[in-house]
C-alpha cells in the first residue's frame, strides 16, 4: 500500500485536480474579490483545542460557519474534525476548507528518537523516511500541517528545547531540516498523506540567555546570518510552505514583530512565498514584552512585520478589521497574507478533498514504521566511551547480567518530549528487549532502584548492590525522564538528577564491569560519573523502538554509529561551548593552561598562560561535537586535495582513505571540516562542510572524496553580503570535530 501510494505521488502535478498555478491564482483572486474583510481576517486566524479547553467542536462551529476561523490545531477527534470541516465547506458562505495543524514533531503514533537524537544519526535519508511515516500517520486524523521541523540552533543544553533541535551546527541542521521538510511534504503537497511543514521558530529562539526558555536573545546580525538563519534558508530552499515566529525578543524587537526577519530577509532576500504563523499567543505577548501598549498595537506590529496568521489569541480577530478600516493597515497587505494562506490550502488539495479517509491511507505503526523507528534509534545512539572494550557484551561469556535503574523499563519516558499522539503501549523497553534477546542464555536480573530519575530515595540501593555483586556485568539505565526537557523545561544543573550519581558510585564499588545507558533530552554534564563506569551509550529519548535498538548495541548485534550533534560540556560554567567557536586573540593550548589545584600559593599574576580557558575546567569539552565511538576501529590516512589552488567558482576535491581495522562490520560518519584562515570578519576555528555515513566491512578500505565548491565557503562579512573570499583554507577529515588530520588549499584572487 505504502509503495503504491509513493509511486502515484511521483506522477502527480502540483495541484490535486491537475490545475495549473495560474488557475489557482485565478481562483484565489476570485475568492479574494468575494471575501468580506471579516472573512479575510478569519483566514488569518488559527484557533485550537487546548488541553485546558472543553475540546468541544460546538464552541467553534458558529465561528467556522461565519468564516471567522481559517485553521485549527489540536483537533484530534476525527469526527469533530470532520464535523467542523463539513461546516466550513458546506455551511460557510464561501466554503473555504479549514487547515488542521498539529505538533507532529518526531513521529505521530510511532515515535522516532527526539529530533536531537535523530540529528545524532547524521543520516538525512533516514530522517526523511521518519518524517514521511509521521506524515502518513498524522494525515489519517485529518492533520495536514505540522509545526515542525524546529530548526533553532541550540548551543545551550540547559535549554529544554534543545531536545527538539538539530543541535549546534548550522550545516548539519540545514541538511536534516531540509530532509524533514521533504519527508513531511512528500513528493507533492496534494497527496493526502502530505503535511505542509513549518520551520520554526524564526529566529534565534535557541539563543535564549542562560538557556532559560523564552528568555531574551542577543545575536549580532553577523552571527544571526552565518549561524541561526542558515537552517531556515535551507528549509525555504527545500520548499517549506510555512514558518513560525519565535517567542523571543531579538535585538529589542520580538520575532513576531520583527520586520527585518519577516520582510527584509524572509520575503525580500529569500523570496519565500508560503505563509508565516505566529507562535501560540505571541502576537498578544508583544504587549507583555513591552513593545506595544495593547492588543491593537500588537496586531498592527505583527501584521505589518509579516505575520500572516495568528495562532491563538484575539489580536487579529478583534483589531485587524478596524486597523484596515482606519487606513493604518493597507487592505492590500491583508489580501497578500490571505492569498498565501489560500494558496497553501489549494496546494494541499483541500478545496477538492477536504477530508482524509483513513481507509485510503497506510496503516499506523505498521512493520515499516516500527522497523524505521528501530533503525533511527539504532543510528542515534552514541557510544561516548568504551574502556577495555567492555562493550559489546557477549552472551556466551555471561551467566548473568544486572539491569538497574529508573529508565530500563519506562515505556512512556523513552518517548521524550512532544509526543501528544504517541502510544506508550507500543514502546518496547530496553528491559523487555534484553530479555527477548539474551534471556534464554543469560540470567537477567532487573531492579528499578529509583522511582524516577529525580528520586533522592536510596532505600533500594543495598538491594541494587547485592544484585550487581551477584552478576557478571551491570547495565545501568540512567538519565532524565521526558518531562525534564522540552518547552519550558530548562534546567540550570544538567547533571544526572536525584540520587543517580550515588547509585553509580555504589555500583562501582562492587568492582563489576559497569555500562551506563543514558536516556535524556539534552547533553548532560557527566563529569561526576564518567570515570565510575566502563562504557557509556548515550541514547537520548530513543522513541517507540528504543529498547530493541539498545539491546542490539549492548550485545553486539549492531555497532554504535551515532555522532554527537552537540558538544557535551564538563561543567555548566563552560556553556556556551561549541566546536565552531572563534579563535580569540589568545587561544588556549595544552601548555598554556593550568588547573586550579596546581597553582602555587602566591603565584604571580602573569606566571601562566594568558589564554582563554577556565582554571577549573580548561577549555575542552567532555565530549566534542561529532564524537561517537564504534566497536570497529577506523583508521584515517592520507588526506589530500585535488588542487593546491583553485579559483573562485571552482571546486576542490578533498579525499581521505578510511580503513576499518576492526573485525566487525560497522557504519562510520566521515566528517569534513574547514577553516578560512583570514576573513574580513573573523571566522570559526572549524566548520562542518560535508559528511557521509558509510558502511564498512571488516578490513575494508574506502577512499572518501568530498567535492567542495567555493560557494560553499561563502559567509556574511562586514557588509552583510554573502561572499567567498580568496585566501588560505585548512581542511580536516575525521570521525569527530576533534580530528587533527589536516590538509590545505588556496582560493586564488582572480583579479
Ligand atoms: C510552541 C510551538 C508549538 C505551539 C503549538 C508553542 O508553545 O512554542 O513550538 O508549535 O506551541 O503547540
Strand bridging mode 400-404 / 99-102: unpaired
214-to-115, 438, 489 alpha-carbon distances in Å: 20, 46, 11
Residue with CA closest to ligand 1 atom 7: 280
- 147 CA closest ligand 1 atom index: 10
Please choose, from the candidates 167, 206, 161, the residue with its C-alpha nearest in 3D space to the C-alpha of residue 627: 167
* Helix 295-305, helix 331-347: angle, nearest 10: 60
Cell triple for 262: 519577516
C-alpha 47 to ligand 1 mean position (Å)? 13
Q: Is the C-beta atom of 200 inside 6 A of ligand 1?
A: yes
Q: Per the residue annotation, which of 103, 156, 249, 279 is the catalytic one?
A: 279
The residues of the chain scoring below 50 in pLDDT are 1-13
The residue whose CB lies within 8 Å of the most ligand 1 atoms, and thus the one to mutate among 160, 214, 309, 487, is: 487
Q: DSSP 3-state helix, strand, coil percentages of the chain (rounded to 5)?
A: 35, 20, 45
DSSP state of 160: G
Give nearest CA residue, ligand 1 atom 4. 280
CA of 106 to the centre of ligand 1 (A): 14
- Does the model's pTM come out above 0.95? yes
> Given the CA of residue 198, which atom of ligand 1 is nearest to it?
10
Q: Angle at the Cα of 215 (from 159 to 232), degrees rounded to 5?
A: 70
Residue nearest atom 5 of ligand 1, based on CA coordinates: 280
Pocket test for ligand 1, best of 50, 71, 103, 419 (most atoms within 8 A of CB): 103
CA separation for the pair 672, 169 (Å, rounded): 13
Q: How far is the CA of 76 from the centre of ligand 1 (A)?
A: 16
**Tally of CA atoms within 13 A in the half-sphere of 104 that contains its CB:** 37
279 carries an active-site annotation: yes
Strand order in 727-734's β-sheet? 645-647, 742-748, 727-734, 666-676, 687-696
Question: 199 CA to middle of ligand 1, Å?
Answer: 12
Q: Does the Cβ of 280 fall within 6 Å of ligand 1?
A: yes
Do the beta carbons of residue 662 and residue 633 sit within 8 Å?
Answer: yes
152 lines ligand 1 (CB under 6 A): no
Ligand 1, residues 49, 279, 490: which to mutate, most atoms within 8 A of Cβ? 279
Q: How far is the CA of 160 from the centre of ligand 1 (A)?
A: 13
What is the Cα–Cα distance from 188 to 194, expressed in whole angstroms? 7
pLDDT at 361: 84
Ligand 1: distance of its center to the CA of 279 in Å?
Answer: 6
pLDDT recorded at residue 3: 37
535-538, strands of its sheet edge to edge: 382-386, 535-538, 514-519, 473-479, 400-404, 443-447
- Pick the atom of ligand 1 nearest to 201's CA: 9
**For residue 72, how far is its CA from the centre of ligand 1 (angstroms)?**
13
pLDDT (tens digit per residue) in 632-656 = 999 999 999 999 999 999 999 999 9
- Nearest residue (by CA) to ligand 1, atom 11, is 280
* Distance spanning both ends of the chain, measured CA to CA: 59
What's the gap in Å between 148 CA and the centre of ligand 1?
10
pLDDT at 360: 81
Instruction: Name the residue at shortest CA distance from atom 10 of ligand 1.
Output: 147
Q: Which atom of ligand 1 is nearest to the CA of 74?
A: 12
The Cβ of residue 689 has, within 10 Å, a number of other Cβ atoms equal to 18
Looking at ligand 1, which residue's alpha carbon is closest to its atom 12? 103
Q: What pLDDT score was predicted for residue 470? A: 98
Q: CA dist 621 to 68, 208, 574, 618, Å?
A: 53, 21, 8, 8
Return the ligand 1 atom nearest residue 150 CA. Answer: 9
Amino acid at each position: 500500500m505504502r509503495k503504491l501510494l509513493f509511486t502515484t505521488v511521483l506522477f502527480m502535478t502540483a495541484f490535486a485536480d491537475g490545475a495549473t498555478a495560474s488557475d489557482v491564482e485565478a481562483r484565489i483572486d476570485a475568492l479574494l474579490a468575494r471575501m468580506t474583510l471579516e472573512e479575510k481576517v478569519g483566514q488569518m486566524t488559527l484557533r485550537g483545542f487546548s488541553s485546558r479547553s472543553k475540546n468541544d467542536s460546538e464552541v467553534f462551529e458558529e465561528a467556522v460557519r461565519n468564516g471567522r476561523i481559517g485553521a485549527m490545531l489540536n483537533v484530534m477527534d476525527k469526527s469533530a474534525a470532520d464535523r467542523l470541516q463539513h461546516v466550513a465547506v458546506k455551511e460557510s458562505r464561501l466554503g473555504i476548507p479549514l487547515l488542521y495543524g498539529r505538533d507532529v514533531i518526531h513521529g505521530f503514533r510511532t515515535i522516532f528518537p527526539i529530533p536531537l537524537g535523530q540529528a545524532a544519526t547524521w543520516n538525512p535519508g533516514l530522517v526523511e523516511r521518519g518524517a514521511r511515516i509521521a506524515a502518513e500517520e498524522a494525515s489519517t486524523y485529518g492533520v495536514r500541517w505540522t509545526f515542525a521541523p524546529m530548526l533553532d540552533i541550540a548551543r545551550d543544553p540547559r535549554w529544554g528545547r534543545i531536545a527538539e533541535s538539530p543541535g549546534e551546527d548550522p550545516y548539519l541542521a540545514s541538511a536534516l531540516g531540509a530532509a524533514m521538510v521533504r519527508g513531511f511534504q512528500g513528493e507533492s503537497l496534494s497527496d493526502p498523506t502530505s503535511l505542509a511543514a513549518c520551520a520554526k521558530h524564526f529566529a534565534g529562539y535557541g539563543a535564549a540567555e542562560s538557556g532559560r526558555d523564552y528568555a531574551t536573545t542577543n545575536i549580532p546580525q553577523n552571527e544571526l546570518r552565518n549561524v541561526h538563519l542558515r537552517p531556515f534558508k535551507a528549509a525555504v530552499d527545500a520548499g517549506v510552505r510555512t514558518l513560525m515566529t519565535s517567542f523571543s525578543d531579538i535585538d529589542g524587537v520580538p520575532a513576531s514583530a520583527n520586520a527585518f526577519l519577516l520582510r527584509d530577509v524572509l520575503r525580500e532576500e529569500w523570496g519565500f512565498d508560503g505563509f508565516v504563523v505566529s507562535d501560540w499567543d505571541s502576537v498578544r505577548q508583544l504587549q507583555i514584552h513591552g513593545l506595544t501598549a495593547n492588543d491593537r498595537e500588537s496586531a498592527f506590529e505583527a501584521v505589518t512585520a509579516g505575520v500572516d496568521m495568528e495562532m491563538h489569541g484575539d489580536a487579529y480577530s478583534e483589531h485587524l478589521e478596524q486597523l484596515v478600516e482606519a487606513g493604518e493597515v493597507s487592505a492590500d497587505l491583508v489580501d497578500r497574507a490571505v492569498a498565501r494562506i489560500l494558496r497553501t490550502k489549494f496546494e494541499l488539495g483541500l478545496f477538492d478533498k477536504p477530508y482524509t479517509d483513513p481507509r485510503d491511507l497506510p496503516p499506523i505503526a505498521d512493520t515499516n514504521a516500527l522497523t524505521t523507528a528501530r533503525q533511527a534509534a539504532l543510528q542515534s545512539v552514541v557510544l561516548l566511551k568504551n574502556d577495555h572494550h567492555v562493550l559489546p557484551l557477549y552472551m556466551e561469556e555471561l551467566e548473568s547480567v544486572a539491569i538497574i535503574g529508573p529508565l530500563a523499563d519506562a515505556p512512556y519516558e523513552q518517548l521524550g518530549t512532544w509526543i501528544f499522539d504517541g502510544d506508550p503501549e507500543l514502546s518496547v523497553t530496553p528491559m523487555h528487549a534484553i530479555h527477548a534477546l539474551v534471556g534464554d542464555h543469560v540470567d537477567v536480573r532487573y531492579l528499578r532502584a529509583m522511582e524516577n530519575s529525580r528520586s533522592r530515595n536510596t532505600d533500594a540501593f543495598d538491594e541494587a548492590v547485592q544484585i550487581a555483586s551477584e552478576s557478571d556485568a551491570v547495565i545501568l539505565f540512567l538519565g532524565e525522564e521526558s518531562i525534564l526537557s522540552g518547552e519550558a523545561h530548562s534546567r540550570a544543573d544538567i547533571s544526572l538528577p536525584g540520587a543517580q550519581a550515588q547509585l553509580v558510585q555504589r555500583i562501582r564499588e562492587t568492582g563489576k564491569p559497569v555500562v551506563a545507558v543514558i536516556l535524556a533530552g539534552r547533553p548532560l554534564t557527566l563529569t561526576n560519573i564518567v570515570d565510575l563506569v566502563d562504557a557509556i551509550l548515550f541514547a537520548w529519548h530513543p522513541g517507540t523502538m528504543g529498547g530493541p535498538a539498545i539491546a542490539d548495541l549492548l550485545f553486539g548485534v549492531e555497532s554504535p554509529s551515532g555522532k554527537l550533534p552537540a558538544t557535551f560540556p564538563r561543567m555548566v560554567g563552560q556553556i556556551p561551548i561549541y566546536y565552531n567557536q572563534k579563535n580569540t586573540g589568545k587561544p588556549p593550548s595544552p601548555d598554556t593552561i593550568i588547573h586550579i589545584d596546581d597553582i602555587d600559593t602566591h603565584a604571580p599574576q602573569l606566571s601562566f598562560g594568558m589564554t582563554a580557558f577556565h582554571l577549573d575546567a580548561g577549555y575542552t569539552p567532555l565530549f566534542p561535537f561529532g564524537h561517537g565511538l564504534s566497536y570497529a576501529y577506523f583508521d584515517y590516512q592520507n588526506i589530500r586535495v585535488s588542487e593546491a589552488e583553485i579559483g573562485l567558482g571552482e571546486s576542490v576535491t578533498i579525499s581521505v582513505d578510511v580503513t576499518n581495522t576492526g573485525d566487525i562490520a560497522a557504519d562510520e560518519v566521515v566528517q569534513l571540516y574547514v577553516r578560512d584562515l583570514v576573513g574580513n570578519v573573523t571566522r570559526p576555528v572549524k566548520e562542518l562542510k560535508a559528511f557521509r555515513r558509510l558502511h564498512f566491512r571488516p578490513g575494508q578500505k574506502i577512499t572518501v572524496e568530498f567535492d567542495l565548491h567555493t560557494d560553499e565557503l561563502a559567509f556574511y562579512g562586514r557588509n552583510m553580503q554573502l561572499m567567498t573570499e580568496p585566501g588560505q583554507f585548512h581542511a580536516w577529515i575525521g570521525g569527530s570535530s576533534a580530528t587533527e588530520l589536516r590538509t590545505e588549499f588556496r582560493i586564488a584572487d582572480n583579479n
